[in-house]
C-alpha cells in the first residue's frame, strides 16, 4: 500500500482510495455519473464555519486519483466535477480552487471537443477569482485562436456565452507579448511542468502527507 493510499484511508476510512478507484473503473464501463452522487456538491451547516460544501475534500481526492490516468471517456465526469466545484463560488463559499481547477481544466482540455469550450471558459473565469491566474489562457483557445474564433462565430446562436468568449479571446490575442502555445505544446508543457505541482498542492491541501510526489505517478 502506497503512502498516498494510506493517507487517504487515514483521513476518510480504510478502503476509501480503493472505493474511489473502483467507482472510476465502473464508470468507464457504464458511463453512469450517478455512481459519484456521494461526491456531489451538498451544503451542510458546520458549527464553527457555517454553511460549507460537505463533500469538498472527498471530491478533491477523487480528482487527485482520477488525474493519475485519465482518458477521453472520462470527459463527462471531468465536466461534472468542474461544475460541482463551481457551485462553491455560486454559493459565495470561500474555498481554494486554484489547483483543482487548473488540474481539471487541463484534464478536460487534453481530450476536448469544441463543445467543451464553454466549460473550459468557466474553469478559468467562472470558478473563482484566483482561477483567473492559476488556469492558463491556452485552455480557452481550444485547438488554436483562429479555429476557435471561427467555431464560436459559426455557433454563436447556440450558446449566449460564445459572444463573451469571442471578445475575451480577441482581447488576450491583441495584448499578448509572445505567441500562445499550440494545443500540443501546451499539453506537453503542462504534463512536464505543472501536472505534478498541482497534484502535490492538492495532496497538501487535503493533508495527505507523503514522502515524495512520485507517489501519484
- Kindly tell me if the per-residue pLDDT of 159 is higher than 90: no
Mean pLDDT (the chain) is 92
- Kindly tell me if the per-residue pLDDT of 29 is higher than 70: yes
Between helices 3-12 and 195-206, what is the axis angle to 10°?
A: 40
The answer, as to whether pTM is greater than 0.75, is yes
| pLDDT value, residue 216 | 53
| pLDDT value, residue 211 | 46
Question: Vertex 60, ends 72 and 120: CA angle to 5°?
Answer: 45
What is the average per-residue pLDDT within 153-176? 92
- Kindly tell me if the per-residue pLDDT of 104 is higher than 50: yes
For residue 50, name the pLDDT band (cuts at 50, 70, 90): confident
Least confident of 70-79, 88-97, 115-124, 126-135: 126-135
Query: Do 136 and 120 touch, CB atoms closer than 8 A?
Result: no
Grid cell 467555431 is found at 151
| pLDDT value, residue 213 | 47
Q: Report the half-sphere exposure of 163 (CA within 13 A, side-chain side).
A: 4
CA distance 171 to 174: 5
- Kindly tell me if the per-residue pLDDT of 129 is higher than 80: no
**Considering only CA atoms, which of 136, 173, 166, 168 is closest in space to residue 151?**
166
CA distance 36 to 5: 19
CA distance 183 to 191: 12
- Kindly tell me if the per-residue pLDDT of 111 is higher than 70: yes
| pLDDT value, residue 191 | 97
> What is the sign, positive or negative, of the torsion defined by CA atoms of 150, 156, 162, 167?
positive
Q: At 32, list the grid cell.
A: 453512469
Q: Which of 46-60, 120-134, 199-213 has the highest mean pLDDT?
A: 46-60
**Spatial CB neighbours of 203, under 8 Å, sequence gap ≥ 6:** 4, 7, 64, 210, 213, 216
- Kindly tell me if the per-residue pLDDT of 154 is higher than 80: yes
CA distance 40 to 53: 9
Query: Do 102 and 131 touch, CB atoms closer than 8 A?
Result: yes
Query: Do 64 and 195 touch, CB atoms closer than 8 A?
Result: no
| pLDDT value, residue 215 | 52
Amino acid at each position: 500500500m502506497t503512502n498516498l493510499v494510506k493517507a487517504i484511508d487515514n483521513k476518510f476510512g480504510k478502503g476509501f482510495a480503493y472505493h474511489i478507484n473502483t467507482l472510476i473503473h465502473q464508470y468507464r464501463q457504464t458511463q453512469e455519473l450517478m455512481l459519484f452522487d456521494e461526491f456531489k456538491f451538498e451544503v451542510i451547516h458546520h458549527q464553527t464555519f457555517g454553511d460549507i460544501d460537505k463533500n469538498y475534500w472527498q471530491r478533491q481526492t477523487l480528482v487527485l486519483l482520477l488525474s493519475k490516468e485519465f482518458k477521453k471517456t472520462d470527459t463527462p465526469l471531468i465536466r461534472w466535477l468542474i461544475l460541482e466545484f463551481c457551485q462553491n463560488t455560486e454559493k459565495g463559499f470561500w474555498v481554494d480552487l486554484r489547483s483543482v481547477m487548473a488540474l481539471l481544466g487541463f484534464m478536460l482540455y487534453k481530450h476536448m471537443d469544441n463543445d467543451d469550450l464553454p466549460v473550459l471558459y468557466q474553469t478559468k473565469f467562472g470558478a473563482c477569482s484566483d482561477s483567473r491566474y492559476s488556469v492558463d489562457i491556452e485552455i480557452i483557445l481550444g485547438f488554436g485562436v483562429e479555429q476557435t474564433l471561427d467555431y464560436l462565430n459559426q455557433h454563436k446562436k447556440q450558446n449566449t456565452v460564445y459572444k463573451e468568449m469571442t471578445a475575451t479571446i480577441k482581447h488576450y490575442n491583441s495584448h499578448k507579448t509572445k505567441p500562445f502555445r499550440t494545443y500540443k505544446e501546451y499539453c506537453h508543457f503542462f504534463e512536464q511542468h505543472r501536472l505534478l505541482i498541482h497534484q502535490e498542492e492538492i495532496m497538501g491541501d487535503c493533508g495527505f502527507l507523503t514522502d515524495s510526489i512520485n507517489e501519484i505517478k
